[in-house]
């Protein structure tokens, strides 16, 4: 097998800091780490996230993926001058290696007095030890002696765009090299222990400070020209959900923290390169079973495939069936880290054909959250299960209800019915999408233990929802007031995608019920009648399948200039969503 290719950042720019922090993010499905730089920049958004760790910051807020204390940041001062405070760089190279998951950067930097330094950093999130992050930085004066100061540790000042989710419980230093911070979400339901070990080569002076939510180790060294200072930093991150030991005495917290430290100390017996080798071997085995190679004129085709598979791995919490894949993975706070229908339709199939146990875990995430979906259906007057449009860990609806504050009235504005809440109220095809994924898993694996238990429950409850949601019109059943995948067309009747998927959902639930001897005769009868009476949009003589009852009657406008700016949705600068909803426009045509 040829090695997967790499992704390079061609040059340094403060305008693309956060773009590459997402593109070159690292992770293993347990945690995600943004590719932020060691040094600080005003526009830089640091981020470290644990799959499934959500918290609601306060009244009027929603559950979001918690941005944890930062462990990447390093302040580097050379002869008193802060690294990169000036922009005099003679060389720059930054590269993410898909084969190993390692991120490397090499810089030749000149201070204001003209002396030069080589500063190289590398880091990886371990693929074989999920809580482990390893970092290394080397500093070499090129043409003069230098005094070097490196400050690094655990920085708990990080927020989610200003919202603080965690409280600091305790920070401590152990011996000469170990430090630890223990934190809890403000609702007391989740605890996080972050342990660090910094090992430094050569004759150095070290001290620690703990103030303003920062626990830092300061390392000072005097270097001759050509001499290299190497600092290796290992980080071990543990967390416990719903605080199994919440309310227990301090001794229990200390023991939990001590267990985390012991894990870190075991790792610290190995060098950075030894730990990287073990992680890289794990990656090698993963790629060997999954890599797709293409032969073509454009090398970017292979890079795009490797990039996609790399991110599919680092975003997937294969270790935990109470978590699923967020819309932005673990690369940032987009969509609050929530789970959408994309998981079942676009992401699960990859895992289904490469590692079906992961696909099963993703489906069991929905099964665990079935009670919340049943409650949402009940609240809306329907039967069965209506899964939330945006989901976190609990299975409750997480779509935001309120938007920004009206600066004229001072009141929080409810999200327009044509924005996010509309999806929660009407974009119900998600229910059938989950059922579709269940059937794909069953057909591919033949896993009878799953289909007879979790799969049956998901299929029957989603089918009951569709049966109860239909309305009778002229002796036929129809599905009204929905939003299909084309989110530019809202609150319509008989959306083709939704109707056909609902039919498929009920049809497959009925088939499985019969095959596995379901004793609910009432359901079987209702399902049979539903399939006979549901109106499905029909293909017109010109071969077009209308998207919904009203779409073909809407006016057509020239979309040329909006297609030229594909992906930016510039049409929303010229028209309101309400106006777009009344035009014959497909969102997909303006996105790519």
Dist CA 399 CA 369 (whole Å): 16
What's phi and psi for 562, nearest 5 deg?
-80, -35
Q: Is 454 a catalytic residue?
A: no
Q: How would you classify the pairing of strands 31-33 and 48-50?
A: antiparallel
DSSP string covering 362-404, please? HHHHHHHTHHHHHHHHHHTT--S----SSB-SS-S----SEEE
Catalytic residue among 75, 227, 478, 487: 487
Dist CA 230 CA 232 (whole Å): 7
Dist CA 557 CA 534 (whole Å): 33
Specify the long-range contacts of residues 4-7, CB closer than 8 Å, at least 24 apart. Answer: 4/97, 4/98, 4/99, 4/287, 4/291, 4/306, 4/309, 4/310, 5/98, 5/299, 5/302, 5/303, 5/306, 6/95, 6/96, 6/97, 6/98, 7/95, 7/96, 7/98, 7/303, 7/307
Angle at 84 between CA 80 and CA 86, to 5 degrees: 85
**CA dihedral over 371, 398, 187, 216, signed as positive or negative:** positive
* CB-based contact 230:200 (threshold 8 Å): yes
DSSP state of 461: H
Dist CA 85 CA 477 (whole Å): 67
Secondary structure (3-state) at 239: strand
* CB-based contact 144:225 (threshold 8 Å): yes
DSSP state of 482: B
Which residues does the annotation mark as catalytic? 487
């Amino acid at each position: 097998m040829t090695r997967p290719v790499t992704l390079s950042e061609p040059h340094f720019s403060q305008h693309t800091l956060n773009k590459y922090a997402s593109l070159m993010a690292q992770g293993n499905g347990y945690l995600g780490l943004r590719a932020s730089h060691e040094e600080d920049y005003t526009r830089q958004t640091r981020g470290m996230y644990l799959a499934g760790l959500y918290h609601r910051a306060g009244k009027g807020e929603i559950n979001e993926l918690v941005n944890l204390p930062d462990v990447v940041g390093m302040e580097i001062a050379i002869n008193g001058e802060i690294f990169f405070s000036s922009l005099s760089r003679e060389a720059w190279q930054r590269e993410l290696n898909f084969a190993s998951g390692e991120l490397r950067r090499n810089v030749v930097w000149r201070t204001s007095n003209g002396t030069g330094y080589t500063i190289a950093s590398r880091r990886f999130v371990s693929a074989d030890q999920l809580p482990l992050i390893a970092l290394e930085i080397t500093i070499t004066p090129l043409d003069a002696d230098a005094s070097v100061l490196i400050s690094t540790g655990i920085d708990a000042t990080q927020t989610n765009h200003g919202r603080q989710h965690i409280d600091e419980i305790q920070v401590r230093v152990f011996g000469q090299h170990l430090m630890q911070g223990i934190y809890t979400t403000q609702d007391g339901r989740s605890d996080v222990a972050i342990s660090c070990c910094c090992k430094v080569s050569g004759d150095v002076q070290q001290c620690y400070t703990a103030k303003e939510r920062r626990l830092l180790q300061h390392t000072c060294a005097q270097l001759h020209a050509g001499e290299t200072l190497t600092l290796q930093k290992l980080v071990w991150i543990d967390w416990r959900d719903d605080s199994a030991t919440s309310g227990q005495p301090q001794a229990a917290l200390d023991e939990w923290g001590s267990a985390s430290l012991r894990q870190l100390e075991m790792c610290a017996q190995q060098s950075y390169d030894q730990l990287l080798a073990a992680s890289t071997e794990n990656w090698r085995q993963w790629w060997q079973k999954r890599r797709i190679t293409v032969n073509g004129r454009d090398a970017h085709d292979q890079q795009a495939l490797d990039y996609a598979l790399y991110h599919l791995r680092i975003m997937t919490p294969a270790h935990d069936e109470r978590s699923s894949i967020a819309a932005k993975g673990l690369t940032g706070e987009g969509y609050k880290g929530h789970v959408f229908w994309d998981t079942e339709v676009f992401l699960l199939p990859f895992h289904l054909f490469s590692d079906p146990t992961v696909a099963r875990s993703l489906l069991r995430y929905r099964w665990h959250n079935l009670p919340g979906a049943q409650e949402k259906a009940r609240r809306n007057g329907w039967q069965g299960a209506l899964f939330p449009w945006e989901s976190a860990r609990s299975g409750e609806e997480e779509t935001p209800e309120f938007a920004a504050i009206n600066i004229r009235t001072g009141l929080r504005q409810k999200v327009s019915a044509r924005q996010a809440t509309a999806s929660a109220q009407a974009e119900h095809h998600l229910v059938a999408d989950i059922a579709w994924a269940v059937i794909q898993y069953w057909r591919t694996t033949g896993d009878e233990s799953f289909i007879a238990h979790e799969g049956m429950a998901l299929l029957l409850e989603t089918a009951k929802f569709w049966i109860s949601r239909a309305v009778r019109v002229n002796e036929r059943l129809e599905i009204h007031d929905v939003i299909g995948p084309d989110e530019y067309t809202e609150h319509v009747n008989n959306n083709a995608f939704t109707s056909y998927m609902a039919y498929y959902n009920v049809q497959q639930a009925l088939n499985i019920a019969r095959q596995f001897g379901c004793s609910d005769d009432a359901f079987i009868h209702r399902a049979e009648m539903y399939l006979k009476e549901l109106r499905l949009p029909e293909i017109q003589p010109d071969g077009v399948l209308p998207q919904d009852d009203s779409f073909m009657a809407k006016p057509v406008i020239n979309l040329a200039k909006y297609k030229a700016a594909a992906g930016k949705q510039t049409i929303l600068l010229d028209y309101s969503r309400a106006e777009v909803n009344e035009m014959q426009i497909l969102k997909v045509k303006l996105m790519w």
